[in-house]
Amino acid sequence: MATSQPLSMGTATLFIQTLMQEWIKKFISHLEGRCLSPHTISNYRRDLIKASDFYQQQSITQWHEITPTHIRHLIVTLHSKGLNGRSLQRQLSVLRTFFGYLLKNGEIKNNPATGIKAPKAAHKLPKVLNTEQTSQLLDKEPTDDLSIRDFAIMELLYSSGLRVAELTQLDLEDIDLDDATVRVTGKGGKIRIVPVGRFAIKAIQSWLVVRSTLIKKDETAFFVGRRGARLTTRAVQLRLKEWGVKQQLSVPLHPHMLRHSFASHLLESSGQIRAVQELLGHADISSTQIYTHLDFQHLASVYDKTHPRAKKKKTNS
């Protein structure tokens, strides 16, 4: 009768990987069925494999063996290797979601990641353009169709504080030139109405002429590429980076910098932090609880009086 042989190190490693990674594969398939973005799914996969590799080194062979102490050990180890607070928070969020999936499927009895907090992420001050840099970027006359579109994009980002994803999601019907407003669909599908300054209105009017020559049949997107299809966030990012270099800005330009500049310049002029927060459409509870009671007329008044590119020119009587 043959006697059983002990597993070699290579075989043991394969055994561990099979047990732990099988659940990772099932979970990733579950996420794909929820139609999450490839980038989000890739982040989940990477963070879970990072965790499984760590626990394999601790001779842990199955997910149900992991306790809150093991979770804390992982976070402390990653922190000691230089992972910042934001990344650690994401790692914990991924683990909580994954263990919630295991709990729902009967693989574990308790979620070991519940209640564990990561070190707080350092709050970096957002980089903004000063008013001189803003003028350096925007006080130019566009010379071709794409630059007309790009200037409309930059003026709208700075005029109204939009996120780049909000900008690329805009449809033609979202812009009201008569009322000088834009209807924005923010995070969580929350809709807000934001004023549009006169410089942005002028740039948009020029773009509408060009847009009519580019759009494909039945295209609803407000901003489109040279082939007439909706512009992507990546395309906007690349174009703005190019404009920053072309206009010889001393800092790399990206869409969110114009949003930050909008907020900074408006706040410096008005001191109306609640109005600025409302115009930005912040989604976190601590912000929205404060600002949801402000009505749009007040916001529009603050905007018209203080935003440097919303002020109306004085006419001689």
The per-residue pLDDT string of the chain (317 residues; one tens digit each, 9 = 90 and over) reads 333 333 333 444 444 456 788 999 999 999 988 877 888 899 999 999 999 999 988 888 899 999 999 999 998 898 888 888 888 889 999 999 999 999 999 999 999 999 888 777 655 556 778 888 988 999 888 989 999 999 999 999 998 889 899 999 999 999 999 999 999 988 778 898 999 999 999 999 999 999 999 988 889 999 999 999 999 999 999 999 999 999 998 889 999 889 888 877 776 666 555 666 667 665 443 332 322 233 344 456 667 777 777 765 555 54
Place domain 131-306 in its CATH homologous superfamily: Intergrase catalytic core (1.10.443.10)
- Residue by residue, DSSP assigns 214-263 as HPPTT--BSSB-TTSSBPPHHHHHHHHHHHHHHTT-SS---HHHHHHHHH
| The pLDDT of residue 17 | 55
Outline which parts of the chain fall under CATH 1.10.150.
10-104
DSSP-based three-state secondary structure for 171: strand
- Tokens linked to 75: 């976070």
CA distance 111 to 314: 64
| The pLDDT of residue 278 | 64
| The pLDDT of residue 267 | 66
CATH for the stretch 10-104: 1.10.150
**Secondary structure of the chain: what % helix, strand, coil (to 5)?**
60, 5, 35
DSSP 57: T
- Residue by residue, DSSP assigns 90-117 as HHHHHHHHHHHHHHHTTS-SS-TTTT--
Q: Could you tell me the maximum CA-CA distance found in the chain, to the nearest angstrom? A: 111
Q: Determine which helix (DSSP H) or strand (DSSP E) holds 175, and give its type and residue range.
A: strand 175-176
Residue with tokens 């979970």: 27
Residue with tokens 């561990």: 16
Outline which parts of the chain fall under CATH 1.10.443.10.
131-306
CB 246 within 8 A of CB 137: no
pTM summary value: 0.56
- Tokens linked to 280: 């930005």
| The pLDDT of residue 288 | 26
CA distance 196 to 281: 15
- Tokens linked to 67: 């306790």
Residues, the chain, total? 317
Distances (CA, A) of 165 to 83, 113, 265: 27, 31, 22
CA distance 310 to 304: 6
Query: Active-site residue numbers?
Result: 163, 187, 256, 259, 282, 291
